[in-house]
Amino acid sequence: MSKTFNKRIFNIKEHFAIMKNAAKGFILLRYVKKNKLFNKKFKERIMLAVTEVNGCELCSYVHTKISLESGMSHDEIRGILNGIKDDIPESEVVGVLFAEHYTDSHENPDDEAINTLIKEYGIDKAKIICAVLGMITMTNAMGISLGLLKERFSFKRVKRSKFLNELGIPVLTMTVFPIFFIYYKIKSLFKSLKCSIIQDKVALAS
């Protein structure tokens, strides 16, 4: 028996690109965390926004807990997970909106949105946002795939979902992602890593 599923379903082909972005992002985020270069609440708002668009129930649960621990209120968390931005600080709205667009576009945001992000936060902070997006997208893909696999084994197979993706994405995340991480970590010792969407350029003139 199958059922309809209105949230995103990832596939193995796109997941390779997602893992590469996440591996590069993870390296940057480790440095950012160590040096306290980014607001933790802002990071969680971005992650919740991506999770809301993709529809990952597992990530929603995990990041709700982390967001509460960071000091965010239940109402704000609930609002973001329902697409409501009333409680988001004005200085972070552009970042959250970009996160939603990034996710809606399947990691292919348009130039106007990218340049708006750079204008608002500068290249360095935009790259951190890019890194956050890379990590949460990968974990969403893994969480959703595991959920779909669980549904299949419960005889509630989701329409459009393939067993190879449901099993393959979690397995690849656990086995191939560490390899990507080691590769990019070594590469970062010799040259700076480039974000897949934020290049070393200035925003277009307004």
Residue 195: predicted pLDDT: 80
In this prediction, residue 192 carries a pLDDT of 83
Architecture in CATH for domain 11-188: Up-down Bundle (1.20)
Average pLDDT over residues 155-165: 92
Q: Is pLDDT at 187 greater than 90 in this prediction? A: yes
Assign 199 a pLDDT band (cuts: 50, 70, 90). Answer: low
Lowest mean pLDDT among 107-111, 143-147, 176-180, 195-199: 195-199
Residue 4 in this model has a pLDDT that exceeds 60: no
pLDDT beyond 60 at 203: no
101-151 pLDDT per residue, tens: 999 999 999 999 999 999 999 999 999 999 999 999 999 999 999 999 999
Q: Indicate the pLDDT class of residue 201, thresholds 50, 70 and 90.
A: very low
Evaluate if residue 206 carries a pLDDT over 50. no
pLDDT of residue 182: 97
- What residue segments make up the domains of the chain, in order of their start? 11-188
Q: State residue 176's pLDDT score.
A: 98
**Arithmetic mean of pLDDT, 91-102:** 96
Report DSSP letters for the chain, one per residue: -EE---S----HHHHHHHHHHHHHHHHHHHHHHHHT-S-HHHHHHHHHHHHHHHT-HHHHHHHHHHHHHHT--HHHHHHHTTT--TTS-GGGHHHHHHHHHHHHTTS---HHHHHHHHHHHHHHHHHHHHHHHHHHHHHHHHHHHHHHHHHHHTT-EETT--HHHHHHHHHHHHHHHHHHHHHHHHHHTTSPPPPSS--SSPPPP-
Q: What is the pTM of this model?
A: 0.91
